[in-house]
């Protein structure tokens, strides 16, 4: 009998929660300006890389960074993803469940591309940075860096990256930007 009461209590709590959500959803249907303009990891931002425009998704949260470009085979020629971290450290990437060949650029806190590596589809070997002073990583379709003449020493537009972080709802200063 005690279990039946517990189930009954849980059912009543669940019904009350559902009713509260349903009532909350019966508003005007409008969202605030901030909510409607808030960007997500799925949005693309124009960020210069070595003087060339790139349309980048900005991965900040751990779940976004863990997923990365997994199961994606639809990248456009100038599309990629930048992984933004709060401080420099040694970084490592692998291609688990990633069907598209990529190039990976490791970037210092001051926006300099320090290292570039090819990444092979579905390769689960970690490609680590040599330096422990990189803060960001940029994944682009394989060959993108070379076809645009971008080599180590080229710069990422940190001002545009800071603006993208703001649009995502993050404070750029927490990532040592601005």
pLDDT at 51: 96
Q: What angle do CA 150, 152, 158 make, to 5 degrees?
A: 80
Dihedral sign from CA coordinates of 31, 35, 40, 42: positive
pLDDT tens-digit readout, 77-134: 999 999 999 999 999 999 999 999 999 999 999 999 999 999 999 999 999 999 999 9
Query: What is the per-residue pLDDT for 24?
Result: 40
Question: Whole-structure pTM over 0.95, yes or no?
Answer: no
Residue 6 has pLDDT above 50, yes or no: no
Tens-digit pLDDT profile for residues 28-70: 344 344 455 789 999 999 999 999 999 999 999 999 999 999 9
What integer pLDDT is reported at residue 76 of this predicted model? 95
pLDDT of res. 37: 78
Where residue 174 falls (left for φ over 0; alpha for ψ -120 to 50; beta otherwise) is alpha
**Average pLDDT of the segment spanning 130-149:** 98
């Amino acid at each position: 009998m005690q279990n039946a009461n517990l189930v009954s209590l849980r059912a009543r709590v669940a019904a009350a929660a559902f009713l509260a959500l349903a009532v909350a959803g019966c508003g005007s249907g409008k969202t605030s300006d901030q909510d409607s303009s808030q960007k997500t990891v799925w949005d693309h931002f124009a960020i210069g890389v070595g003087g060339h425009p790139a349309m980048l998704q900005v991965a900040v949260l751990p779940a976004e960074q863990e997923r990365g470009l997994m199961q994606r085979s639809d990248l456009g020629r100038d599309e990629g993803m930048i992984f933004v971290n709060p401080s420099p450290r040694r970084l490592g990437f692998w291609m688990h469940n990633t069907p598209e060949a990529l190039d990976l650029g490791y970037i210092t806190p001051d926006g300099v591309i320090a290292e570039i590596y090819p990444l092979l589809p579905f390769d689960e070997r970690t490609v680590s940075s040599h330096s422990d002073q990189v803060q960001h990583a940029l994944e682009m379709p394989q060959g993108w860096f070379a076809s645009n003449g971008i080599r180590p020493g080229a710069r990422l537009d940190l001002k545009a990256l800071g603006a993208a972080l703001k649009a995502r709802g993050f404070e750029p200063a927490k990532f040592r930007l601005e």
